[in-house]
């Protein structure tokens, strides 16, 4: 017998509907089995669907499980912000005013309510390693020999989800990338990354700092994600490594655009507090109702 459960579909990293990255949120997921969650995620056919459950850690406000149409993720960025938005909009009262604590596969992730609007999550700790020299040829083939920025390593950043972060010479060079799907599939297999996240500085727009893309092979198809919280969190960790590797109490912020090649206009703002990055953005609700499963 099916049960009606509260359901929202939200657009993350945008204040303008249809310009961000959609997310399905099942707000009452108790009683669903793993196979049912996977089936729902496959049916919504969005990049991720989240399922809200009671926390098992007493310090957390809620627990979330995150599914793509094919598998479960321990962490992802736009599902973190989108789920928090859906809960707050539904009347959820945080244990600590101004902050939610999400429990997920990588542990506890804080989500702050921003006074200027929107939400920001604390980037999880990450393991950062430079791409091995053995993989450089595959990377260049993946980029179709468009030159990377000189003097910058390509880094594999692992925070439960693994992105290969690659600096390009400019935002324009990033947008011009025509990724070789065959080489990318081999690169993902060789390095065990979820995808590649090329980025470049915006030299001609004073309102933006970087353009970022997130590309990967899934079910033998080249996919470009519209706006990616985890890739932005991985980039933020790389910039931490480059700008203040000693972890000093440095305060700075920057803005990223993502989704241009997908006819989206995702906006991500990153703020460092005591050297730690917080990944922020706005979210709007497009569908609010129930799902019978």
CA distance 240 to 259: 23
Q: What's the token pair of residue 19?
A: 């310009």
CA distance 21 to 172: 22
Q: Is 48 a catalytic residue?
A: yes
Determine which one of 28, 48, 116, 218 is catalytic: 48
118: left (phi over 0), alpha (psi -120 to 50) or beta: left
Catalytic residues: 48
């Amino acid at each position: 017998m099916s049960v009606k459960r509260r359901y929202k579909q939200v657009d993350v990293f945008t204040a303008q509907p249809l310009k961000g990255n959609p997310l399905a949120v099942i707000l009452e997921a108790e009683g669903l089995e793993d196979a049912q969650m996977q089936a729902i995620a496959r049916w919504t056919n969005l990049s991720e669907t989240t399922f809200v459950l009671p926390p098992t850690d007493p310090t957390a406000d809620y627990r979330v499980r995150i599914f793509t149409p094919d598998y479960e993720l321990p962490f992802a960025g736009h599902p973190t912000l989108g789920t928090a938005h859906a809960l707050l909009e539904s009347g959820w009262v945080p244990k600590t005013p101004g902050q939610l604590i999400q429990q997920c596969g990588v542990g506890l992730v804080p989500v702050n309510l921003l006074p200027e609007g929107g939400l920001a999550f604390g980037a999880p700790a990450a393991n950062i390693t430079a791409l091995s020299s053995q993989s450089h040829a595959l990377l260049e083939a993946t980029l179709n020999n468009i030159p990377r920025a000189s003097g910058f390593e390509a880094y594999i950043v692992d925070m439960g989800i693994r992105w290969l972060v690659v600096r390009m010479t400019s935002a324009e060079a990033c947008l011009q990338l025509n990724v070789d799907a065959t080489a990318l599939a081999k690169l993902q297999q060789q390095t065990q990354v979820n995808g590649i996240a090329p980025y470049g500085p915006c030299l001609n727009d004073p309102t933006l700092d970087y353009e970022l893309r997130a590309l990967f092979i899934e079910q033998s198809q080249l996919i470009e994600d519209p706006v990616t919280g985890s890739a932005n969190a991985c980039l933020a960790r790389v910039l931490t490594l480059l700008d203040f590797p000693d972890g000093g109490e440095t305060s700075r912020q920057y803005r990223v655009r993502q989704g241009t090649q997908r006819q989206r206009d995702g906006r991500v703002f990153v703020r460092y507090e005591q050297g730690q990055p917080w990944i922020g953005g706005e979210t709007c609700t497009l569908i609010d109702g129930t799902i019978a499963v």
